[in-house]
Amino acid sequence: MKGETASSSPICTTLVFSDQPRCRILAPFGVRIKKGVIMTGFDGVLRERLEGMREGGSERYLPESRGDLIDLCSNDYLGLAKFPALRMRIAAAAAAEEERVGSTGSRLLTGNSELAEGTERELAAHFRGESALVFSSGYAANIGLISAVVGREDLVLFDELIHASLRDGIRLSGAKGWKFRHNDISDLSDKLARAPRRGRVWVVVESVYSMDGDRCPLREVVVLCEQWGADCIVDEAHTTGILGKNGSGMVVDEGLEERIVARVHTFGKGVGVHGACVVGSSVLRRWLINRARSFIYSTAPADTFFIAIREAVRMGGSEEGDSRRRALWERISVMEAVLGAAGLAWRGESPIVPIVMPGVAVVRAMATAAREAGYRVLPILAPTVPEGLERIRVCLHAGDDPAVYKSLIQVFEKRGWRAESRGGE
């Protein structure tokens, strides 16, 4: 296949090989040649794009599931996902209460139940809100909430590091979005001052940011929103279960629940199960039931889904949950000291520890070295983070052996990582 060339028309592609006569191949959908491989149809287009991603080191793969590695990358901050007592509680409750293995339809058709609505009432009380509405995932909650409440004439100001699901919700709403610099109150204030007033103005933030692990200056954000008449939405994905009384999140911890329009709490991280809920007024709940498309057009979760959420939140709010939160924050302090000794001034505001290692090849090599040493950490690449800010995202857990933190950093140091090489991040 050496020396091939190609010319295309809407109905055929001509291939020329240096050692073969010219041949014509009908190609109603187009034919491409990449390194001697004939690419036909839509799969060919995708294969070529994937090849480019692979060559650039940005193609993603489902990681191998290995139980022999020390987990330092999952979002199971309190260790509830693998806690036998929680599994037994869920199983016992399901045996006593489960009426059906499937919901048979959306909540607006045949999928609603007293179990679902009772769980939502309990969640509203736990998160100190007037009402709660459960969604199948945090992604579904974010896109459903924002696309339902934000109008086309509105303006959304959002922190540049918010979750992709929040950005997708803004796009679905049809509203204009302005990003402000991460946690920069001055920049947010400037944009609020310049915001046109054709519709409502919204501010969207996260209580803790998923890739940097730092906290939002939430009280200052709320004060600005009140000053300029803006409405605030907070994604509590990475604080649910680990901050606030009984793990109720940062908004409750700071006493701001009456000053936030809506909060999204997810259950697949600190709570250890799955799903999410939007917490707000009873009017907001009614509106979402009528306008949140990711709620309306999704088959309702099965009974065991609601049972798992209810039992996990109960356990998280119990003495067991308090004990695990204390253990988690003790380990965060240990990691802060370990990184400080390595020359990295990390401020332990959450269990998320970003160790920036610019360059795809570098961060992949570091992740491989950690895996070979027995640790499960994963490289975080663009577009999840900006190019040049690739990183190992370490997540801490209540049940970690604190000694592994120093050992992991030593693995990186042996491969040439130094705190001063972090590119100023």
pLDDT tens-digit series, residues 57-88: 778 888 877 788 999 999 999 999 999 999 99
Of the candidates 281, 316, 351, which is a domain's last residue?
Answer: 316
* Boundaries of domain holding 330: 70-77+320-421
* Domain match, 284 and 412 both: no
* Domain match, 243 and 351 both: no
User: Domain for residue 59, yes or no?
Assistant: no
User: Domain for residue 63, yes or no?
Assistant: no
* Domain match, 170 and 200 both: yes
* Burial 333-354, CB ≥16 within 10 A → b, else e: ebbbebbeebebebebbbbbbb
- Of 126, 163, 265, 397, the active-site residue reads 163
* Domain match, 301 and 328 both: no
Tens of pLDDT, residue by residue over 102-124, are 999 999 999 999 999 999 999 99
Nearest to 309 by CA among 68, 53, 122: 122
User: Domain for residue 60, yes or no?
Assistant: no
CATH of the domain at 339: 3.90.1150.10
The pLDDT value recorded for residue 109 is 97
> 211 is written with which tokens?
């890739």
Any idea which of 10-24, 96-110, 141-155 has the lowest mean pLDDT? 10-24
Reported as a pLDDT band with limits 50, 70 and 90, residue 247 is very high
The pLDDT value recorded for residue 36 is 60
* Domain match, 187 and 207 both: yes
In the chain, the percentage of residues whose pLDDT exceeds 90 is: 77
Say whether 163 is catalytic. Answer: yes
* Domain match, 245 and 351 both: no
The pLDDT value recorded for residue 383 is 84
The type of residue at 261 is V
CA 335/CA 327 separation, integer angstroms: 13
CA 204/CA 207 separation, integer angstroms: 10
pLDDT at residue 17 is higher than 90: no
What's the structural domain count of the chain?
3
CATH of the domain at 208: 3.40.640.10
Neighbours of 28 (CB within 10 A): 10
Say whether 68 is catalytic. Answer: no
- Of 71, 76, 206, 303, the active-site residue reads 206
Say whether 117 is catalytic. Answer: no
User: Domain for residue 58, yes or no?
Assistant: no
Residue with tokens 């610019």: 358
The pLDDT value recorded for residue 11 is 41
CA 58/CA 61 separation, integer angstroms: 10
* Domain match, 325 and 388 both: yes
The pLDDT value recorded for residue 3 is 46
- Of 75, 131, 137, 350, the active-site residue reads 75
Say whether 103 is catalytic. Answer: no
The pLDDT value recorded for residue 89 is 97
Neighbours of 246 (CB within 10 A): 18
* Domain match, 201 and 276 both: yes
- Of 120, 212, 235, 311, the active-site residue reads 235
pLDDT at residue 2 is higher than 80: no
Model-level pTM? 0.88
- Three-state DSSP class for 354? strand
- Of 191, 265, 269, 397, the active-site residue reads 269
The pLDDT value recorded for residue 272 is 97
- Of 238, 246, 303, 397, the active-site residue reads 238
* Domain match, 336 and 403 both: yes
User: Domain for residue 359, yes or no?
Assistant: yes
* Domain match, 416 and 380 both: yes
| Maximum CA extent, the chain | 79
Mean pLDDT of the chain: 90
The pLDDT value recorded for residue 44 is 86
The pLDDT value recorded for residue 420 is 55
Tens of pLDDT, residue by residue over 331-384, are 999 999 999 999 988 999 999 999 999 988 899 999 999 999 999 998 998 888
Report residue 406 CA to chain centroid gap: 27
User: Domain for residue 253, yes or no?
Assistant: yes
User: Domain for residue 329, yes or no?
Assistant: yes
User: Domain for residue 269, yes or no?
Assistant: yes
Residue 235 zone, left/alpha/beta (φ > 0; ψ -120 to 50; rest): beta
* Domain match, 339 and 408 both: yes
pLDDT at residue 321 is higher than 70: yes
* Domain match, 118 and 242 both: yes
CA 345/CA 231 separation, integer angstroms: 35
pLDDT at residue 422 is higher than 50: no
Task: List CB contacts of 260: < 8 A, sequence separation 6 or more.
Answer: 222, 232, 233, 234, 251, 280
- Of 210, 246, 248, 294, the active-site residue reads 210
Do residues 133 and 124 lie in contact, with contact meaning Cβ atoms separated by under 8 Å?
no
Say whether 397 is catalytic. Answer: no
Residue with tokens 């309306």: 296
Of the candidates 284, 316, 348, which is a domain's last residue?
Answer: 316
> 22 is written with which tokens?
């010219």
